[in-house]
Amino acid sequence: MSPNPNLPSYSPAIQSLLPMLYVAWADQVLSPSEAKLLQIKLKDLPFLSAGDRELLKSWINPSNPPDRELFQHWRILIHNRSAESTAEDRKSLVDLGLEMARAAALREDGAWWTNPETRQALETLENELDTIQIKTYQSLFPKPLGEEPSGKINRAALTAILDDDYADIRNRMRVVLTDPVFEYQNFRSKEAYRDQVLRWCRYLADQGLGILSYPEADGGENDMGQYAAVFEMLGYFDLSLSIKFGVQFGLFGGSIQWLGTEKHHRKYLEDVGKLNIPGCFAMTETGHGSNVRGLETTATYDQESGNLIVHTPHHEAGKEYIGNALHGRMATVFAQLIVGGENQGVHAVLVPLRDENHHLLPGIKVEDNGYKMGLNGVDNGRIWFDQVSVPRENLLNRFGDIDSDGNYTSPIKNPSKRFFTMLGTLVGGRVCVPRAGLSATKSGLTIAIRYAHRRRQFGQDFTSPETLLLDYPSHQLRLMPLLAKTYALDFGLTFLTKKYLARNAESIREIETLAAGMKSYATWFTTHSLQQCREACGGKGYLWENRFADLKNDTEIFTTFEGDNTVLMQLVAKGLLTAFQNEFHEEGTMGVLRYLGRRVSTSLAERNPLTIRNTDPEHLRDSAFQIAAFRYREDRLLYSVSQRLRAKIKAGTKSYDAYLECQPHLLKLAEAHVERVIIEAFTQEVKRTADPAIKAVLKLLCDLYALHTIELHKGWYLEANYIESNKSKAIRREVMLLCSQIKEYSLDLVEAFAIPEKVLGAEILT
């Protein structure tokens, strides 16, 4: 691209200053005080003519910044010069300016531009400009887009990156799942399906896979990371199996591990891990799902017998949608603990359901939930308790206990803090569920993309070869952004898992917030992506034999269990607003809002004209621009919703009502937060990758995820004046280009998921 011929050429003196002027405006909007500083300093430069001074004066007027065309003209002049120079020639703005001046002075007296006094004067000015935070020096030089990978990429090496620290257990699971015991069957009854899933679970337990996360003293390996990898890998095969495995070993066993104490661990965990005690996690009630604090089941301490009496006070207080309800012999029941007539809040109690002959015990009533949209291999049911007596020792007492005299004690005196601490120990489910959902997404994408590489439809005319589906830009635009987002979520979920495994008392609340957001964002994506993949396979995708029926139906509930996604995203936003305090109340809210206002008001006042206008591909594919755009959206939404809440509360609206009125804004804030975490995790993974070809492909995927996400939010960015319409169009063009580039590597990218062919199980690919 060449400069506009209608724009003037500049004197050597002007060109010596052009890099500094460009950066000064590109870095930020100049304030009047900064412009005044520049005007004063420019007067001291002896090599400027009167005409030069007038021109410069017009360029440093804060009320009339340089327009886009002038910016582009400057940029081209600087880039043309810097492209011809070496890094040694342009260590600073002064070096580049002097080089431009010398080049422009070839037919004039160039003595000024070799004079040490000229350099000193320019360096003095550069030092002064440093006080107004010039930080974009490197943006002056052409930044290559990066080499595109040549030929095929090393699939095994890419698989190793995706497998991360758990390649051994993942490879073991790839072998396990190809065992003849694991065969796809089109079950015609839920009972037959459930029995098969139970047999599969026993097979896995016999392989020692159910006990991986439990303490070594109880027969386990104390490795939650391995357990999460197993759960994820099961999602490639049968999601009913994955969920039943999670209910038994994750929820039921996990509740004993994290809410119980050593006596419970010694008594139960090994048998739970071997599936000798099938169990349930009985939290949800018909009348209370997301509102755990509002549960109505009671566990009342009976002083006379020394037992706990577990009771369902009315029909709607029955436990609802409980996995393992038909197979389980015991349940962890969440109930209001009442001791000496005082309600101590929700606690967990182990309640036997059936005897060794699988007969229901007295006072226990169980009903089958019946057929569901999906996951019919999981035996969900309803449970009611009629004055069921269990020993006091069955109280999982890590956070609250009853002594032999009937006194309640707890290491956490504050009931609210105790409740949230208890729930925080169970966050592992929200870490694992989106990983299994993403396995379903990977299966769907592998089927759809491989099919698109072989299926042909239409041609230029009746004599021409028909066109591959994936050669159609519309098909690329349908599938390639899904592939990019799948990789982005993989790295984002790995980031979350590592944070969870390294958690401590200080970080747990942050992890709870992130887990809630990632679970919601990832499972919503699973639902969306599988629909797109099914449609991309046409009528073939509708056949049961091609997996989409089960993949879609089984993952539909992922947006609801382990927390309704919309509710969880509100918790994310609330967590962002209250990150620095333990409890939420009205007075604290005002403090939070004032804090947030101070935190981001300065950054929101800054607008970068260059960012708004720049349409160059190297800029759009620059990770610094991408991350800045994601951060800006999060910060801007954080600030705006805090302002809305502050205004409503100040006007007399109660905190609860104010939050209700701001729900849509809170959900957008939560989304922006999760997307920012994901793009940062993806960018870091690209930086860590050593293999040049894989690094280049991952950068393409990262660029597509970033730009496609910005495009999805283009209305917001345009309203916020963060981009202009021409930049929005440039982003759309870049997304299309990236889709066509990634298409060339899409087979390698889905094959790197390393899903065994038998497990993928789609007839469409045979």
Look at the block and give the residue holding tokens 């509100």: 570
What is the greatest pairwise CA distance in the chain? 107
CA distance 758 to 760: 6
Most confident of 45-54, 716-725, 749-758: 749-758
Give residue 456's pLDDT band: very low, low, confident or very high (50, 70, 90). confident
Q: What is the CA radius of gyration of the chain?
A: 31
Q: How confident is the model at residue 106 (pLDDT cuts 50, 70, 90)?
A: low
- As a whole number, mean pLDDT of residues 309-324 equals 97
CATH architecture assigned to 279-427? Beta Barrel (2.40)
Cα–Cα distance measured from residue 108 to residue 715, given in angstroms and rounded to the nearest whole number: 51
Q: What is the mean pLDDT of the chain?
A: 88
Pairing of strands 298-302, 279-282: unpaired
- Beta strands (DSSP E) in 166-248 are none
pLDDT higher than 90, residue 462 = no
Q: Which residue has the higher pLDDT, 114 or 717?
A: 717
**Residues 474-502: tens digit of each pLDDT:** 999 999 999 999 999 999 999 999 999 99
Tell how strand 342-352 and strand 364-368 pair up: unpaired
Q: pLDDT of 669-686, one tens digit each? A: 999 999 999 999 999 999
Q: pLDDT confidence of 82, banded at 50, 70, 90?
A: low
Mean pLDDT of 509-525: 96
Residue 527 host element (H or E): helix 508-536
H/E run at residue 390: strand 388-391
201 vs 95: which has the higher pLDDT: 201
Highest mean pLDDT among 16-20, 311-315, 579-583: 311-315
Per-residue pLDDT, 114: 80
Opening angle at CA 569, ends 563 and 570, nearest 5:
105
Residue 604 has a pLDDT of 43
pLDDT in tens, 113-150: 788 888 888 888 777 665 444 444 444 454 555 555 66
Report, as an integer, the average pLDDT of 445-472: 88
Mean pLDDT to the nearest integer, 653-665: 91
**pLDDT at 13 (0 to 100):** 86
Residue 509 to residue 159: CA distance in whole angstroms: 32
Whether 589 has a pLDDT exceeding 60, the answer reads no
* Single-letter amino acid, residue 409: T
Residue 170 has pLDDT above 90, yes or no: yes
Average the pLDDT over 245-274 and give the result: 97
Distance between CA atoms of residues 372 and 380, nearest Å = 9
Note the pLDDT of residue 750.
98
- Mean pLDDT calculated for residue range 154-169: 97
Q: Count the residues in the chain.
A: 766
Instruction: Place 214 in a pLDDT band, splitting at 50, 70 and 90.
Output: very high
> In which band, very low, low, confident or very high, does the pLDDT at 580 lie, cut at 50, 70 and 90?
very low
Concatenated DSSP letters for 82-147? HHTS-GGGGSSHHHHHHHHHHHHTTTS--GGGG-HHHHHHHHHHHHHHHTT----GGGGS-----P
651 is written with which tokens? 């006007």
Partners of 333 in the beta sheet? 282, 349
Is the pLDDT confidence value at 629 over 90?
yes
Helix (H) or strand (E) holding 712: helix 692-712
Give the model's pLDDT for residue 583: 36
Residue ranges of the chain that CATH labels 1.20.140.10 = 429-603+615-765
596, pLDDT greater than 90 = no
Calpha distance 353→366 (Å, rounded): 9
Tell me the average pLDDT across 258-287: 97
With contact defined as beta carbons under 8 Å apart, do 478 and 536 qualify? Answer: yes
Instruction: Specify the domain boundaries for CATH 2.40.110.10 within the chain.
Output: 279-427
d(CA 766, CA 755): 15
Cα torsion angle, 725, 728, 730, 733, sign: negative
Average pLDDT over every residue of 616-628:
93
The H helix count followed by the E strand count for the chain is: 31, 13
CA distances from 436 to 186, 400, 674, 759 (A): 21, 33, 18, 14
Q: How far apart are CA 497 and CA 172, in angstroms?
A: 20
601 pLDDT tier (thresholds 50, 70, 90):
very low
The residue that leads in pLDDT, 722 or 86, is 722
Q: How many CA atoms lie within 13 A of 604 on its CB side?
A: 16
Least confident among 173-182, 282-291, 319-328: 282-291
**And the tokens for 255?**
């509740």
Q: Which of 30-44, 338-352, 516-530, 589-603 has the lowest mean pLDDT?
A: 589-603
Q: Which tokens belong to 588?
A: 């604290």
Lowest mean pLDDT among 35-44, 210-219, 315-324, 574-583: 574-583
Active-site residue set: 562
pLDDT score of 30 more than 90: no
* Contacting residues for 105 by C-beta, under 8 A, at least 6 apart: 12, 112, 113
Spatial CB neighbours of 706, under 8 Å, sequence gap ≥ 6? 623, 626, 629, 630, 679
Please report the pLDDT score of residue 147 as a whole number: 55
In this predicted structure, what is the pLDDT of residue 148?
58
Backbone phi, psi, residue 338, to 5°: -115, 120
Q: What's the CA dihedral at 719, 724, 730, 732 to 10 degrees?
A: 10
Please give the sequence-ordered ranges of beta strands (E in DSSP) within 250-329, or none if there are none: 279-282, 298-302, 307-311, 319-322
pLDDT digits (tens, 9 = 90+) for 365-423: 999 999 999 999 999 999 999 999 999 999 999 999 999 999 999 999 999 999 989 98
Give the pLDDT mean for 565-587: 73
Mention every residue, 6+ apart, whose C-beta is less than 8 A from residue 548. Answer: 444, 447, 530, 533, 534, 537, 541, 542
pLDDT band at 584 (very low <50, low <70, confident <90, very high): very low
Which DSSP letter does residue 49 get?
A: -
Specify the higher pLDDT residue, 362 or 57. 362
| Per-residue pLDDT reduced to its tens digit, 32-43 | 766 777 778 788
Nearest Cα to 439, choosing from 278, 235, 220?
A: 235
CA pair distance 247, 426, nearest whole angstrom: 12
Q: Within 13 Å and on the Cβ side, how many CA atoms surround 245?
A: 35
Cα–Cα distance measured from residue 38 to residue 45, given in angstroms and rounded to the nearest whole number? 11
Among 218-232, 472-486, 565-579, name the one with the lowest average pLDDT: 565-579
User: What's the whole-number mean pLDDT along residues 625-650?
Assistant: 91
Distance from first CA to last CA of the chain, Å, rounded? Answer: 49
pLDDT at position 289, please? 79
Which strand (E) or helix (H) includes residue 567? helix 565-577
Determine the Cα–Cα distance for residues 385 and 392; give it in Å rounded to an integer: 17
> 707: Cβ–Cβ under 8 A, 6 or more apart, which residues?
620, 621, 626, 731, 734, 735, 738
C-alpha distances (whole Å) from 544 to each of 93, 240, 495, 758 are 64, 16, 35, 16
Strand 330-339 to strand 342-352: parallel, antiparallel, or no bridges (unpaired)?
antiparallel
* Amino acid sitting at position 689: T
Per-residue pLDDT tens over the stretch 182-211: 999 999 899 999 999 999 999 999 999 999
Amino acid 80: pLDDT: 74
Return the closest-CA partner of residue 299 out of 289, 291, 307.
307
CA separation, residue 96 to residues 312, 610, 713 (Å): 79, 20, 38
What residues pair up with 390 in beta bridges, in sequence order?
A: 308
Helix (H) or strand (E) holding 68: helix 68-83
Strands (E), 175-271: none
**131 or 433, greater pLDDT:** 433
CA of residue 343 relative to chain centroid, distance: 38
Q: Are 275 and 210 in contact (CB under 8 A)?
A: yes
CATH superfamily of 429-603+615-765: Butyryl-CoA Dehydrogenase, subunit A, domain 3 (1.20.140.10)
Residue 734, pLDDT above cutoff 60: yes
